[in-house]
Structure 1
Amino acid sequence: MNTPPLIDTTYIIETPEGVELTLHIAGPVVRAIAWFIDLCIRLLIYILLGNMLLKFGNIGVGLLLLMLFLGEWFYYVLFEVYAGGKTLGKRLLGIKVILASGAPVTWSASMTRNLLRVADFLPFLNALGLISMICTKNFQRLGDIAAQTIVIYQDKPIKHNALPNMPAYHLSYPLTLEEQQAIINFAERAQTFSQERADELASIIQPLIADDKNATQALYQIAIGLLGKK
């Protein structure tokens, strides 16, 4: 009996350089909240414009209708293209639109996905778009499928702590690139661990360093040497 694949919100992209990027797909709930925020923002803008433009009679009505048209069709496109794939609602929720390839969303892709919002809305309240998101692996509505776009969480940059002020320590043998990166990552993050946890992780390399050196301190000093700070 075949076991159905587990639901997973991770999305892995391999770059032309062979580097794998792991992204996290935004689901229907957070996207619906972002859509509602954007709707409220647009309604507030339309109300303010209406209060100003309706004072000018038929000319004001015409201008207001033009603003409504432009707002509904280009609000999303302009923000997605010029604001890194994030409307105001998406920015507040920490999500953004990108191409399925991992590249920033383009004019053509943004136009395609937003022109199809009409189809996603059918028969009411984005029902068809919701069904499409539930039925697709990467929570894509019809516009996303046609434009080959996805909506992901924007990862927050990791804040690394400064390394302790101590002399560099150089091993007597070369390290691979992966080993160097692992040591630097440990040294930059170890200060967020408890001392017991840091010592436990560092003890893995204890047989490789001088017997009189503490493993955790040695990793700090090796990292400082690799970074050329001392």
Structure 2
Amino acid sequence: MLDTVREVHTPEGVALRLPAAGPVPRALAWLIDFGIRMGLLLAASMVLGAFDKAGMGVYLLILFALFWLYPILCEGLFDGQTPGKRALDLRVVSSDGAPVGWLAACVRNLMRTVDMLPFGYACGLVSGLFDPWGRRLGDLVAGTMVVHVPKSRPLSVMAADGVMAPVLPLRPEEQAAIVAFAERAPRLTPERQQELADIAAPATGAQGGEGVHRLAGIAHWLLGKR
């Protein structure tokens, strides 16, 4: 399966493009994580080998943690990225583009036991080949997908008054919609820019051209361009 793009639309009418990752980069990311886990396991065995039965008990706990908790904790704590995924610029997100939650991270990783059947991740590979966005069974059950992380680049639309914080708290999907608007705005007509900016008036406190500038300023603020 080649990498494809999934397009989802937010309630505000902004299209988000999610570039789905194919099996090759995902497999490479898994190999990196596997190497990290094996290295940690080897180091633990060398340290605990001198403690006989007590050391064996601790070793088994570490083995359990590395096999089950490593991916769950990494994806839950680090915005859907394990070290392997970060190295390959991949990220786990919800199917609607929102950040992955703890429940979804648990479900998709616990489902690995099914994806591994009957051997060599065969079920997961078959599922990924037939799914338009390369999702294995764990992703389908958890409502997640693995995407390429786009390279950060300066926004083409600059805020008239610099960066500004939103006047209301924003949900993750609303933050993503505002950033997507600012990235797409150069390709939109001024009328379409203002039409979309008017939808976000509660977050900007303005409409029309001023709303466009404020929306771009909020996007810069969300991206840390202070």
Q: Deviations over 1:146-199 (max 9, x none)?
A: 1010000011111369x9xxxxxxxxxxx64639xxxxxxxxxxxxxxxxxxxx
Map 1:163-178 onto structure 2 (within 5 A). 176=191, 178=193
Quick check: 1:95 aligned with 2:90? yes
**Residue matched to 2:139:** 144
Quick check: 1:11 aligned with 2:10? no
Q: Secondary structure at the match of 1:85?
A: coil
* TM-fit CA distance, 1:125: 1.1
Q: Share of identical aligned residues, percent?
A: 40
| Greater gyration radius | 1
**Residue matched to 2:23:** 28
* TM-fit CA distance, 1:74: 0.8
Could you list the structure 1 runs, at least 4 aligned residues long, displaced by more than 4 angstroms after superposition: none
Aligned length: 167
Mapped partners of 1:139, 1:176: distance in 2: 37
Stretches of structure 1 lacking an aligned partner (at least 5 in a row): 1-5, 164-174, 180-225
**Residue matched to 2:124:** 129
Map 1:59-78 onto structure 2 (within 5 A). 59-78=54-73
- RMSD (Å), alpha carbons: 2.5
**Residue matched to 1:51:** 46
Stretches of structure 2 lacking an aligned partner (at least 5 in a row): 159-189, 195-212, 215-226
Q: Secondary structure at the match of 1:122?
A: coil
Mapped partners of 1:97, 1:137: distance in 2: 16
Mapped partners of 1:9, 1:37: distance in 2: 23
* TM-fit CA distance, 1:108: 1.0
**Residue matched to 2:152:** 157
Mapped partners of 2:5, 2:191: distance in 1: 29
Q: Which amino acid aligns with 1:24?
A: P
Map 1:208-219 onto structure 2 (within 5 A). none
Mapped partners of 2:93, 2:33: distance in 1: 18
* TM-fit CA distance, 1:107: 1.1
Q: TM-score, normalised by structure 1?
A: 0.67
How has the CA–CA distance of structure 1 residues 152 and 8 changed in structure 2, closer, same or farther, with 3 Å as cutoff? closer
Q: Secondary structure at the match of 2:13?
A: coil
* TM-fit CA distance, 1:57: 1.0
* TM-fit CA distance, 1:55: 1.1
